Amino acid sequence: MAIEIAQLRKSFGRNEVLKGIDIAVEDKELIALLGPSGSGKTTLLRIIAGLDWPDSGRLEVDGADWLSIAARDRRIGFVFQHYALFPHMSVRDNIAFGMTVRPRAERPGKAVIARKVTELLQFLQIPHLADRLPGQLSGGQRQRVALGRALAIDPRVLLLDEPFGALDAAVRRDLRSWLRSVHDASETTTIFVTHDQDEAFELADRVVIMGEGRIEQIGTADQIHDHPASPFVARFMGATIELPVRIAAGRATAPGIDTARIERRALPDGAATLFVRPADLTPVPDPAGLWRVKQVTSTGALLRPVLTGPEGQDIAVEILRRAAPNLSAGQSVTLRVETGTIFTETPPGQRGQAGQPSEINAIPLKEKQK
Amino acid sequence: MTVASVRIRPKRVLPGFALSLGTTLLYVSVIILIPIIALVISGAGIGWDRFVRILTSARTLDALRVTVLAAAIATVINAFYGLLMAWVLTRYEFRGRAFLDAMMDIPFALPTAVAGLALTSLFASTGWFGGPLEAMGIQVVYALPGIIIAMTFTSVPFVVRAVQPVLEDLDPALEEAAKTLGATPWQTFSKVILPAILPAWLGGCTVSMARSMGEFGAVVFIAGNLPGKTEIASLLAFIRLQEYDYRGASVIALILLVFALLLLLISNLFQIRAARYREGGK
C-alpha cells in the first residue's frame, strides 16, 4: 500500500511536535523514521496507526482518506516498543487475537485460525513457544510474538515503534536481518521508528531523518551520507567539525586549509560553514602551515591528532595510522579536506539552529529522491 | 596446622528479627487468634444436638437468610458500582478527582452507627429520599432494601480499593494493541481489561461480602429488626447475649465466622491467581 502524507501538523498543548510533514511511501517499501528523541517520529507513527490524530494535514493510503477511518478499521499491524502482549493469553492466543475479534460474518473458522497461527509460528521460528505465557518469554521472543500478532491480521501497513530498543546488542543484530527477511517475504509496506543510525541504514530502503518536528532529509544511506541536506543532518551523520570558510566564485577557501578537493558549488559569495567528519580531514606536514599539532594519541589502527587552528580552536581528527604522515606535537600542518558539505546559512562564529530550513538547503520533500 | 571450624552466624541487615516476630505473633494471638478459638470452643462445647437445634430454629434460619440475601444483593451492587468508581478514578482527569478519591474512604472512617443514623433519617418517610420513595410505594426503612443500602454503604470501598491499583498499573498500550488489531471497545474491555482485573475485582467483592455479612452498626438503625423479617444474624447474636444465652450467641457467631473465613479463603485464592500474570507481559 502506498502512503501519502501531506502537511501533517500536531501539537500537544503548546508544544508543536509535528510542523508540517510530507512523505510519500511506496508500496512494499521499508522505511525508517530516524531522529533523536523528541523529533516527533513516534507521534508520526501513531498518527499513521490512528492512535493519535493530527491537527491538520492529509493521510492517504492507496487513495483512501485514513483520517476518516478509526484505528480498528485501518487494519494496520502495530508493534509496540514494549510489545504490549496480552499477559493472560498464551502466545497462540495472542497471535490469534486479531482474527478472533473480527465481526462474526468475517471471522475465519476456528480451524482456519489455528492453521494460520501455526503457520505464523513456523514463519517466525517460534513454534515451540506456542503455549507459553508472555511472562515466560525473553525480550527477543516477545518481539517475535508481537510481530506475529501484528502480521496475523494481514495488515495493509506494518508499523514498528523502536522495534529493537529494549533488546541487547546481539539479539538486536539477529532480529534486524530477520525483520528484513520477514518484510521481503510478507511484502507489506513497513515503517519503523528508530534512533539508531546503523539500524536505520542497514534495514531500510529509504531513511527519513526527522529533527524537531520536521523532515530534514529523505534518502538512501549513500545519499544522506554524501549529501546531507541540512546542517542538522550533517551533524547527525557525524560531521562534527565545523570550519568557517569564505565562498568566492563557488569555491570555498579558508586560511591554513587545503580545500582543492571540494567541488565548486553554486553558492553565493560570502561566509559559509564547512561540515567535515573527523576521518575526512588529513593533516599534511607543512612548515608554512597555520595549524599546529597539539597532541597525538593512537588506538593502534587509528591516529587521533588534536590540532590547534590559527584562531586557537582545537579539533580532533582521525586518520588511519598505516597511511598517516609522521606527526609530532608542535609540528606545523595544513589541513586537507577530503570531502565535506558547505552550508551558507550558518555564518562563522554563530551556530545555526539545527533543523531550521534555509532557502538554499530546503529540499522539495515530495520530490522523489533517486 | 589445624584450623578450628567456627560456624559463622550470618548477620542480618536489620537487627531484632526475633523480637519483632515475637511481638507480632503475641499480638496476633491475643487480639485475633485466642478470641476466635474461644468462640469455637464455646460454640462446639454445647454438643452437636443443641448446636443443630439452635441453628435450625426458625428465628436463626430467618436471620441468616436475611443476612446472606441482603449481603449478596449489596455485593452485586458494589461489584458494579465499585468497578465503575475505580474506572472513573483511574481513567479520567477531572476537577475534584482527588476529592472524590478521598471520599471513597469515608465509609472506612465513619462510625457505622453514624452512617446508620444518617441513612435512616434520609430514607425515613419524613426524609429527603424516603418521602418520594414512599409515595411510589417503595418501603426502604425497616425493610430489606434498607438493610441492603446500609451494607452497600459500608462495604463499597473494598471493591474500589481492590480494583483501582490494578487498573492504574494496566499498560495503556494493551488497549491500543487491541484497538489496532480490530477489537471493538467492548471486546477490548471483555477480552483484555476484564481478565487483567478480574482476580482483584472478585477478591474485592468477596471481602465486601464478608464485611456486609458482619455489618451491625449501620444496619440495626435502618432495619427495624423485626424477627423473621428484618433481623440480621449479628443482631440476633447480640440479642441472645443480652438474654444471657451465651451458647445461642456463640452458635450464631460461629456460623458467621465460618462464612467470613470461607470468603477470605476465596479472596486469597483470587489474589494468588492475580499474581500469576504479574511479572510478565510488559
Out of B25, B44, B63, a domain closes at B44
Question: pLDDT grade, residue B3 (50/70/90)?
Answer: low
- Nearest of A15, A19, A6, A22 to residue A57 by alpha carbon: A6
Mean pLDDT on B148-174: 91
At B48 the three-state DSSP class reads helix
Q: Alpha-carbon distance A209 to A205, whole Å?
A: 13
Answer whether A101 sits within 8 Å of B195, measured CB to CB: no
Answer whether A101 sits within 8 Å of B187, measured CB to CB: yes
Average pLDDT value for chain B: 85
Q: Which of A71, A82, A150 sits opposite B179 (nearest CB)?
A: A71
Q: Which of B182, B191, B277 sits opposite A87 (nearest CB)?
A: B277
Beta bridge partners of A79: A160
Dihedral of the alpha carbons of A164, A165, A169, A172, in degrees to the nearest 10: 0
Question: Grid coordinates in use for A154?
Answer: 494481514
Q: Alpha-carbon distance B270 to B187, whole Å?
A: 23
Answer whether B281 sits within 8 Å of A134, measured CB to CB: yes
B216 found inside a domain: yes
CA angle B67, B69, B71 (to 5 degrees): 65
Q: What is the pLDDT of residues B252-268, one digit of tens each?
A: 888 888 888 888 888 88
Q: Is B49 on the interface with A (CB under 8 A)?
A: no
Question: pLDDT grade, residue B2 (50/70/90)?
Answer: low
Q: Is B183 on the interface with A (CB under 8 A)?
A: yes
B5 found inside a domain: no
> Which long-range contacts does A364-368 make (Cβ < 8 Å, 24+ apart)?
A365/A22, A365/A23, A365/A215, A365/A218, A366/A6, A366/A22, A366/A24, A368/A24
Cα A333 from chain centroid? 36
Question: Grid coordinates in use for A358?
Answer: 534555509
Residues B33 and B78 in one domain: no
If one counts the domains in chain B, the total is: 2
Beta strands A241-248; A251-253: pairing state:
antiparallel
| Cα R_g (chain B), whole angstroms | 24
Q: Alpha-carbon distance A28 to A188, whole Å?
A: 5
Q: How many CB pairs under 8 A join A and B?
A: 85
At B26 the three-state DSSP class reads helix
Dihedral of the alpha carbons of B142, B146, B148, B152, in degrees to the nearest 10: -140
B71 found inside a domain: yes
CB B189 within 8 A of CB B201: no
Q: Alpha-carbon distance A190 to A147, whole Å?
A: 12
Cα A277 from chain centroid? 18
Q: Which residues of A touch B278 (CB under 8 A)?
A: 135
> Would you say the C-alpha torsion A87, A92, A97, A103 has a positive or negative sign?
negative
Residue type, A25: V
Q: Which of A358 and A10 is assigned the larger pLDDT?
A: A10
- Quote the pLDDT of residue B277: 62
Closest-CA residue of A relative to B175 is: A84
Mean pLDDT on A36-60: 91
Q: pTM score, two decimals?
A: 0.75
Which alpha helices (DSSP H) does chain B contain, by range?
17-28, 34-44, 48-56, 58-91, 97-103, 106-109, 112-123, 130-135, 144-169, 172-180, 185-188, 194-214, 217-223, 233-242, 246-275
- Which positions ≥6 away from B92 have C-beta within 8 Å? none
Mean pLDDT on B100-105: 89
Q: Alpha-carbon distance A235 to A354, whole Å?
A: 9
- Quote the pLDDT of residue B275: 72
Q: Which residues of A touch B (CB under 8 A)?
A: 49-51, 71-78, 80-88, 97-98, 101-102, 133-137, 149-150, 153
CA distance A62 to chain B (A): 19
The DSSP string of B222-266 is HH---TTTT--HHHHHHHHHHTT-HHHHHHHHHHHHHHHHHHHHH
At A57 the three-state DSSP class reads strand
Closest-CA residue of B relative to A149 is: B181
Residues B40 and B56 in one domain: no
Q: Which residues of A touch B281 (CB under 8 A)?
A: 85-87, 133-135
Answer whether A101 sits within 8 Å of B176, measured CB to CB: no
Q: Which of A84, A149, A150 sits opposite B171 (nearest CB)?
A: A84
Residue type, A257: I
CB A89 within 8 A of CB A97: yes
Percent of chain B residues past pLDDT 70, beyond the cut: 94
Q: Is B195 on the interface with A (CB under 8 A)?
A: yes
Residues B141 and B211 in one domain: yes
Q: Which of B226 and B95 is assigned the larger pLDDT?
A: B95
At B102 the three-state DSSP class reads helix
Closest-CA residue of A relative to B183 is: A101
Residues B35 and B96 in one domain: no
Residues B37 and B110 in one domain: no
Q: Alpha-carbon distance B266 to A51, whole Å?
A: 39
Residues B86 and B163 in one domain: yes
Mean pLDDT on A57-84: 90
What are the b/e assignments for B10-22, b being 16+ CB within 10 Å?
eeeeeeeeeeeee
Answer whether B173 sits within 8 Å of A82, measured CB to CB: yes
Separation in Å, CA B85 to CA A338, B92, B187: 68, 11, 21
- Quote the pLDDT of residue A46: 93
Given a cut of 80, whether residue B274 has pLDDT beyond it is no
Residues B57 and B186 in one domain: yes
Residues B88 and B228 in one domain: yes
Answer whether A135 sits within 8 Å of B280, measured CB to CB: yes
Residues B84 and B31 in one domain: no
- Quote the pLDDT of residue A114: 92
Question: pLDDT grade, residue A363 (50/70/90)?
Answer: very low
Q: Which residues of B touch A77 (CB under 8 A)?
A: 180
Closest-CA residue of B relative to A157 is: B180
Separation in Å, CA B53 to CA B242, B252, B268: 20, 12, 33
Q: Which of A75, A84, A101 sits opposite B176 (nearest CB)?
A: A84
- Quote the pLDDT of residue B59: 87
CB A57 within 8 A of CB A229: no
Given a cut of 50, whether residue B77 has pLDDT beyond it is yes
Q: Is B137 on the interface with A (CB under 8 A)?
A: no
Q: Is B282 on the interface with A (CB under 8 A)?
A: yes
DSSP structural state of residue A90? -
- Nearest of A337, A309, A353, A343 to residue A234 by alpha carbon: A343
Q: Alpha-carbon distance B179 to A72, whole Å?
A: 5
- Which positions ≥6 away from B244 have C-beta within 8 Å? none
Residues B64 and B133 in one domain: yes
Average pLDDT value for chain A: 85
Q: Alpha-carbon distance A141 to A15, whole Å?
A: 37
Residues B19 and B107 in one domain: no
Mean pLDDT on B115-130: 84
Given a cut of 90, whether residue B19 has pLDDT beyond it is no
Q: Is B254 on the interface with A (CB under 8 A)?
A: no
- Quote the pLDDT of residue A368: 37
Beta bridge partners of A296: A305
What CATH number did the domain enclosing B264 receive?
A: 1.10.3720.10
State the residue range of the domain holding B27.
Answer: 15-44
Residues B134 and B245 in one domain: yes
Judged by average pLDDT, the poorest of A27-31, A186-190, A323-327, B95-99 is A323-327
State the first-to-last Cα distance of chain A, in angstroms, to the nearest integer: 20
B118 found inside a domain: yes
Q: Which residues of B touch A86 (CB under 8 A)?
A: 174, 177-178, 191-192, 195, 281
Q: What is the pLDDT of residues A175-230, one digit of tens each?
A: 888 888 888 888 899 999 998 888 899 889 999 999 888 999 999 988 898 888 88
CB A134 within 8 A of CB A144: no
Q: What is the pLDDT of residues A123-166, one digit of tens each?
A: 888 899 999 999 889 888 998 899 999 999 989 999 999 888 77
**Residues 258-277 of chain B whose Cβ lies under 8 A from any Cβ of chain A:** 277
B7 found inside a domain: no
Domains in chain A, please, with CATH?
3-224 (3.40.50.300), 240-369 (2.40.50.140)
